Amino acid sequence: PQLAAYRDYLLSEQHLQSTLSLKECIANPDLALNRGILEPMAILKRNGKIETNNCVILIDALCEAEYHRPDHGDTITTFLVKHMCHFPSWLKVVATIRTQLQEVTKQLPYTRISLDNITTNENLQKDMLDYINFRLQNSPSIQSNITLSTAIKLESGNVTQHKFSQHLLNLSQGSFLFAKLTLDLLERGHLVAKSSGYKVLPVTLAQIYLLHFNLRFPTVRSFEKVTHVLSVCLSALYPLTLLEIYYSVNSLLVDRFLPWTEFLQRFKLLSGFLVKRL
């Protein structure tokens, strides 16, 4: 890891760990950023402990914060605008936002790259094709599930893979998530696309997630077991602990109390859909 020195520094400075605790980040985010991240990293860089020329902070989906604007204080975007002058030149920020909401970032002095122009940007197409072909070449399972065979002849593997990769490239429209989830389904055997038109493949992310849920919860009764857990997690504005989810789920159950062991069993049904914080 490039920032092992920063990790070691935090472990040796107890007061910085307190500054970066979730409680303090919520109470005083300005202090947490400056004293907990920017100042220590500047010290380490100055002392030669961080040797890399550039470091990157990735902030995904700035637009999500706009849906939950606070009554007072900053959104992530306005927070970045306020502190950009304190960032050293070697510490870069890469942020993403949906095209239709890019207006909220107009104050950020960042270089802008659009990932929407999939038909005109050769680099976007090349990146996507490289990813798809890498997955194809390294997964016999995917190769088997897309190989078109007939009674007359067995189509060449290279021809099949080329046709499939071009088809998935067009379907994905630049979305690596769509391509990844589709290839995952093929690799696990949940999808078998042996027809020449690949009509069995999903065409939207919504269809992919619906397929995942139908595979995991084939009946209404099986889905009802996790409905309250999903409702709590999706409505929360920040990641909840397992205990917080448990108490919140029970607050929805008026007529009965859900035992802890039964709650854990239901929570495990959502493995892969929910990411548990360590």
pLDDT averages per 10-residue partition of the chain, 278 residues: 88 93 91 95 93 90 79 86 92 90 87 81 90 94 80 61 91 91 94 83 93 93 94 88 94 91 95 78
Q: For residue 8, which of 57, 43, 55 has the smallest C-alpha distance?
A: 43
Element (H, E) at 95: strand 91-95
In a 10 Å sphere around its CB, with 0-12 CB exposed, 13-18 middle and 19+ buried, how is residue 67 labelled? exposed
The count of C-alpha atoms lying within 13 angstroms of the C-alpha of 163, restricted to the half-sphere facing its C-beta, is: 16
Q: Where are the domains of the chain?
A: 4-105, 122-214, 217-268
The 10 Å Cβ neighbour count of residue 131 is: 18
Q: In whole angstroms, what separates CA 187 from the centre of its chain? A: 20
Report the length, in residues, of the chain.
Answer: 278
Contact 266, 229 (CB under 8 A): yes
The whole-number pLDDT of residue 116 equals 79
Phi, psi of 93 (to 5 degrees): -115, 125
Across the chain, how many H-helices and E-strands are there?
15, 2
Helix axes 176-187, 122-137, angle to 10 degrees: 10
In a 10 Å sphere around its CB, with 0-12 CB exposed, 13-18 middle and 19+ buried, how is residue 78 labelled? middle
The owner of tokens 């970066």 is: 20
Q: For residue 218, which of 166, 146, 269, 268 has the smallest C-alpha distance?
A: 269
Phi, psi of 259 (to 5 degrees): -65, 155
